[in-house]
Amino acid sequence: MRKQLKDAKRIVIKVGTSTLIYPNGNINLSAIDQLAFTLSDLRNQGKEIILVSSGAIGVGLNKLNMDKRPPTIPEQQAVAAVGQAELMNIYNQRFLTYSQQIAQLLLTRDVIEYPESRKNVTNTMEQLLQMGIIPVINENDTVAIDELDHLTKFGDNDQLSAIVSQLIQADALIMLSDIDGFFSANPTINKEATLFSEINEINDKLLQLAGGKGSRFGTGGMYSKLKAAERVLEHNSAMVLANGQHPKIIFDILDGEMIGTLFIR
């Protein structure tokens, strides 16, 4: 089943904060450079690439010399505003090293929910891809809130990446995280945990195996990744969950190597 990844032309890459930020809170410039090199080379191969990137708050915390997320939403949104600008500065610099143009799209859930705005977002992404530009997509943290009557949050960028994949009918979603794939138990505390090489259906048993949130700089845990995979499977696409420590692993994934967990019908 992995052989079909070789033929994937339109690919969404999702990178978590853990790929972009070291555990000590500093920016992982090596990983970002690898990511820019890899995605630029895939573009040179003729593939259409969309990057869904977390990291605004993590980069903002680093820029502002803060060691943990502030408690209030306005403070978090201010940190995200600083971090998003800095993150795009870094991305622009690294991608231009490989002569690759990028563009920024900041989305909220209400944009996706309304037919006219959804059409506009989709048309923008399609036009950018046609122009050979890599869209860099993130949730608009400065306006996205999650209140009873104002549901504008995607929840996390795992869900956002699955929705983007759906909107543009991507052939594959590659989700880079801080874990090698989906395991039968938490491999950091259970040495008996086994990696699922392939999953064809998201069921209650799998959802129960998934627990808690991720790193202190990110929001997405394994549960959110399974829910993203569920959306991808519903639209007959494929998703690979793999470790993003070295983003060049994307080359190996698209070569069909047995890396991470493949979600496919």
Q: For residue 200, how many other CB atoms are within 10 A of its CB?
A: 10
Cβ-contact 70, 179 below 8 angstroms: no
Residue 97 marked in a binding site: no
Residue 178 marked in a binding site: yes
Q: What does the block give as tokens for 217?
A: 């700089």
Residue 260 marked in a binding site: no
Residue 25 marked in a binding site: no
Angle formed by the axes of helices 56-63 and 73-97, to 10°?
100
Residue 67 marked in a binding site: no
How far apart, in whole angstroms, are the C-alpha atoms of residue 101 and residue 103? 7
Residue 158 marked in a binding site: no
Residue 239 marked in a binding site: no
Cα 4 versus chain centre, distance: 21
Residue 18 marked in a binding site: no
Residue 47 marked in a binding site: no
Amino acid at 158: D
Residue 219 marked in a binding site: yes
Cβ-contact 26, 50 below 8 angstroms: no
How far apart, in whole angstroms, are the C-alpha atoms of residue 187 and residue 41? 33
Residue 188 marked in a binding site: no
Residue 99 marked in a binding site: no
Give the residue ranges of the annotated binding site for substrate. Answer: 54, 141, 157
Give the residue ranges of the annotated binding site for ATP. Answer: 14, 177-178, 219-225
Give the residue ranges of the annotated binding site. Answer: 14, 54, 141, 157, 177-178, 219-225
